[in-house]
């Protein structure tokens, strides 16, 4: 290997390790990779930021804004109401939920479609007494399956279209992905609905009388005040006084911190207890005379949940401004008028002070806000309420028809090739803004900027893999491996490799890295690149083995009560089904034909 190839492979290895460990957010990791390939002159300095002008990046941003417009129009609320009224057992409920989320994901951002139906699924879980874990993982997986079916369904499809265009061929059209993607989506949904959900462990959460969907491992802090009858009592006596079932995991007394204090510890005025409990027992605990939540008192002088002040559970969304911040640095009370009562991170016992915990994607928070500011708080923080509440004022029916008209018109002009998709969807965004379906603040907030940074930074890195000969080196290895077999074998190897890569890193990054290799393999076989690009788009949407492979999986981890190892139980079989269905469909609709 040449020095340049050593550098690019070392950079990619470092990037993959950082993606997998999650110590740095993926957009920061992508910027680091971009800096390395630029400073080592693997790409010219003047081309360092060329990725941000790529049509794929513009299209992804426009689709995110249009997703917000459809949400604002009220169409999804109508669908949610219809789903909530469906009768029948778990198979009927799953068929309806997964079918609708897959359909929405074909034309909206995957995470956006999932977020809109997640509260509906939780409501169904409660009313039908179905464990939430049986509904939420299928919902997340169906959102990924639905994204396979159209050009705008998921960023990997848009990126693959731009790679096809870079070879001199026209980009994929709006519904070029449908024959293969729809077949895979139908097969996957049928499996999930009738068989797959049975492979998911029951992770049933208790349900409170307030309509909140309780999480077992909330962490909160309470303080022993001067009026407390617990002063001088032993730690184990808290349950007798408060009637709450809690686990005290820490005690802070002045500058002293005791983790897992003895049950015989005497409590003193001013002690701060680090407590693990569900939402219902936290409420019982703070209603105990002489105990108060550590935090701002202005909002706590009233009851926790009244006509003016409300409690709600919310999950931190992938594009939330909270990610990486702490309650202290974000100044939640002062800046947003919201009080953080407790936090849950599935599978982890958090031992830090509540105000110093750094928020992560998927964290479930117990928040308290004034009723009249709840919608604004939810929108500004990027936090999805888990209990279904009417957070949006009634939408005029005229706006519903205008939003649908704009979106459908953009689809049609892009599908028939009248104007490029990025122009069609940018025009649609403009029309939604001027018709006030989406305001400017919502438009900018709806763009998942970390994804935009990831794409803009990784596209030049993918180009460096190509120009250094690294893509050709990997392609040659795959070609040697499959030399004794038909080209279909190389297609299978590429699809499986992309599947497992997408289980570990962002699916957009997986396509950026795999597309140059796919093109080189096709050129080495002297066949069409189309089936190989189709293979990697299908593989990139198959992040079914881990909660970190896709944001949809992370989003349901807390509300569903899942553990890291729960995903592969259904996901592994689902990936095998995708492989069995996708390969024949690709070979039928995108045959491996020799290029003259």
Q: Is 412 inside a domain boundary?
A: no
Residues 562 and 457 in one domain: yes
CA dihedral 408, 411, 413, 417 (to 10 degrees): -160
Three-class SS of 323-367: CCCCHHHHCHHHHHCEEEEEEECCCCCCCCCHHHCCCCCCCEEEE
Residues 92 and 114 in one domain: yes
pLDDT of res. 207: 38
Query: What's the CATH number where 368 sits?
Result: 3.30.70.1450
Q: Is 197 inside a domain boundary?
A: yes
pLDDT of res. 495: 95
Residues 458 and 515 in one domain: yes
Q: Is 209 inside a domain boundary?
A: no
Could you give the CA distance from residue 290 to residue 287 in angstroms, rounded to a whole number? 9
User: Looking at 385, 420, 435, which one is the last position of a domain?
Assistant: 385
Residues 72 and 172 in one domain: yes
Q: Is 390 inside a domain boundary?
A: no
Q: Is 157 inside a domain boundary?
A: yes
State the residue for tokens 């070879």: 167
Quickly count helices (H) and strands (E) in the chain. 24, 9
Residues 114 and 150 in one domain: yes
User: Looking at 333, 351, 385, which one is the last position of a domain?
Assistant: 385
Residues 57 and 174 in one domain: yes
Residues 381 and 473 in one domain: no
Q: Is 260 inside a domain boundary?
A: yes
Q: Is 438 inside a domain boundary?
A: no
Residues 229 and 93 in one domain: no
Residues 264 and 337 in one domain: yes
Regions of the chain with pLDDT less than 70: 76-77, 204-217, 242, 260, 279, 295-309, 346-352, 387-397, 596
pLDDT of res. 489: 92
pLDDT of res. 394: 44
Residues 170 and 249 in one domain: no
CA dihedral 216, 98, 198, 583 (to 10 degrees): -130
What is the DSSP secondary structure assignment for residue 39, as one 8-state letter? Answer: H
Q: State how many domains the chain has.
A: 2
Q: Is 238 inside a domain boundary?
A: yes
Residues 521 and 574 in one domain: yes
Residues 159 and 18 in one domain: yes
State the residue for tokens 């603040």: 441
pLDDT of res. 391: 43
Residue 581 domain boundaries = 3-204+445-589
pLDDT of res. 397: 58
């Amino acid at each position: 290997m040449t020095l340049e190839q050593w550098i690019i492979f070392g950079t990619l290895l470092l990037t993959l390790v950082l993606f997998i460990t999650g110590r740095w957010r993926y957009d920061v990791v992508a910027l680091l990779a971009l800096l390395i390939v630029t400073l080592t002159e693997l790409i010219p300095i003047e081309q360092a930021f060329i990725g941000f002008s790529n049509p794929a990046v513009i299209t992804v941003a426009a689709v995110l804004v249009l997703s917000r417009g459809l949400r604002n129009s009220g169409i999804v609320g109508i669908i949610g109401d219809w789903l909530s009224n469906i009768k029948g057992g778990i198979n009927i409920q799953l068929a309806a939920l997964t079918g609708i989320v897959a359909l929405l994901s074909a034309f909206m951002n995957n995470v956006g479609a999932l977020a809109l139906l997640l509260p509906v699924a939780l409501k169904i879980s409660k009313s039908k007494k179905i464990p939430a874990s049986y509904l939420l993982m299928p919902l997340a997986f169906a959102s990924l399956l639905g994204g396979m079916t159209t050009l705008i369904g998921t960023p990997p499809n848009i990126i693959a279209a731009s790679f096809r265009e870079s070879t001199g061929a026209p980009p994929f059209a709006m519904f070029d992905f449908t024959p293969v993607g729809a077949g895979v989506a139908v097969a996957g949904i049928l499996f999930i609905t009738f068989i797959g959900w049975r492979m998911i462990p029951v992770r049933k959460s208790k349900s409170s009388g307030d309509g909140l969907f309780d999480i077992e491992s909330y962490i909160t802090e309470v303080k022993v005040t001067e009026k407390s009858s617990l002063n001088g009592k032993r730690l184990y006596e808290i349950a007798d006084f408060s009637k709450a079932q809690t686990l005290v995991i820490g005690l802070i007394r002045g500058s002293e911190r005791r983790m897992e204090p003895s049950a015989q510890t005497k409590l003193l005025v001013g002690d701060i207890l680090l407590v693990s409990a569900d939402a219902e027992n936290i409420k019982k605990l703070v209603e105990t005379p002489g105990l108060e939540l550590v935090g701002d008192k202005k909002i706590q002088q009233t009851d926790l949940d009244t006509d003016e002040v409300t409690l709600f559970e919310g999950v931190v969304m992938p594009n939330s401004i909270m990610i990486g911040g702490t309650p202290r640095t974000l100044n939640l009370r002062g800046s947003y008028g919201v009080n953080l009562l407790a936090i849950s991170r599935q599978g982890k016992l958090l031992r830090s002070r509540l105000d110093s915990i750094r928020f992560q994607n998927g964290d479930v928070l117990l928040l308290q806000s004034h009723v009249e500011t709840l919608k604004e708080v939810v929108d500004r923080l990027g936090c999805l309420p888990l209990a279904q509440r009417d957070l949006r004022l009634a939408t005029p029916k005229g706006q519903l028809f205008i939003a649908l008209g704009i979106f459908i018109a953009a689809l049609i002009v892009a599908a028939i090739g009248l104007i490029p998709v990025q122009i069609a969807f940018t025009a649609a965004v403009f029309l939604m803004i001027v018709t006030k379906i989406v305001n400017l603040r919502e438009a900018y907030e709806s763009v998942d900027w970390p994804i935009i940074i990831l794409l803009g930074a990784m596209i030049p890195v993918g180009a460096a893999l190509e120009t250094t000969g690294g893509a050709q080196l990997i392609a040659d290895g795959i070609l040697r491996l499959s030399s004794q077999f038909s080209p279909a074998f190389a297609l299978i190897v590429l699809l499986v490799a992309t599947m497992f890569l997408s289980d570990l890193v962002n699916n957009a990054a997986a396509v950026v890295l795999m597309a140059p290799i796919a093109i080189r393999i096709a050129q080495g076989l002297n066949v069409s690149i189309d089936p190989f690009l189709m293979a990697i788009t299908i593989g990139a949407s198959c992040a079914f083995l881990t909660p970190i492979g896709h944001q949809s999986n992370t989003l349901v981890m807390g509300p569903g009560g899942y553990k890291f190892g729960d995903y592969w139980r259904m996901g592994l079989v689902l990936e095998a089904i995708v492989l069995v269905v996708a390969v024949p469909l690709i070979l039928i609709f995108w045959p491996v034909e020799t290029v003259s």
